[in-house]
Amino acid sequence: MSDFPGVGDAMPDIAMGTPDGGEVKPSEFEGKKLVIFFYPKDNTPGCTTEAKDFTALKPDFDAAGVELLGVSKDSAKKHQNFIAKHDLTTPLATDSEEDGLSDALGVWAEKQMYGKTYMGMVRSTYLVGSDGKIAQIWPKVKVKGHAEEVLAAAKAL
């Protein structure tokens, strides 16, 4: 059992940076359904595919009254480049602060690649109900078909 919030718990209300230098936090979406997808790094193949998939389905999420927010540790400048390069319409946020939202949820975690251990973002998605509580969690996401699966779950909520 982890100490991290799970289904039925309130989404921690921790502010993150936006590409334009502003701030965004989960409570700003209260009264609406919110999908927060955490991804490792801008402009990497899986992350680009995931962000483009959510962008392609954004009109469907909008029609269902569901807000989207993509989150990584990348800087505002990197997010701006990522958005411009791939025509992303999905809002992005930077969770670069120590003890940020990704830390509170346990998605900033120890990872291993090629025998090396390092801290990194675990690709995960959270569906938050209009009541601000976590309705569903997708840990260790596989990108293919993921945005469609999240949309179906959000519509059903």
Within a domain: 24: yes
Start-to-end C-alpha separation, the chain:
25
Active site residue 102: no
C-alpha 130/C-alpha 85 separation (Å) is 32
C-alpha 70/C-alpha 92 separation (Å) is 5
pTM confidence score: 0.96
Side chain identity, residue 132: G
Within a domain: 123: yes
Tens of pLDDT, residues 3-12: 899 999 999 9
Element (H, E) at 2: none
Tens of pLDDT, residues 12-38: 999 999 999 999 999 999 999 999 999
Within a domain: 150: yes
CATH of the domain at 97: 3.40.30.10
Q: 11, 34, 35, 47: which one is catalytic?
A: 47
How many structural domains comprise the chain?
1
Within a domain: 113: yes
Please choose, from the candidates 1, 25, 4, the residue with its C-alpha nearest in 3D space to the C-alpha of residue 14.
25
Residues 33-49, mean pLDDT to the nearest whole number: 97
Please choose, from the candidates 110, 129, 101, 120, the residue with its C-alpha nearest in 3D space to the C-alpha of residue 24.
101
Residue 82 is part of which domain span? 16-156
Within a domain: 10: no
Within a domain: 11: no
What does the pLDDT read at residue 113? 87
Within a domain: 85: yes
Within a domain: 1: no
Side chain identity, residue 95: D
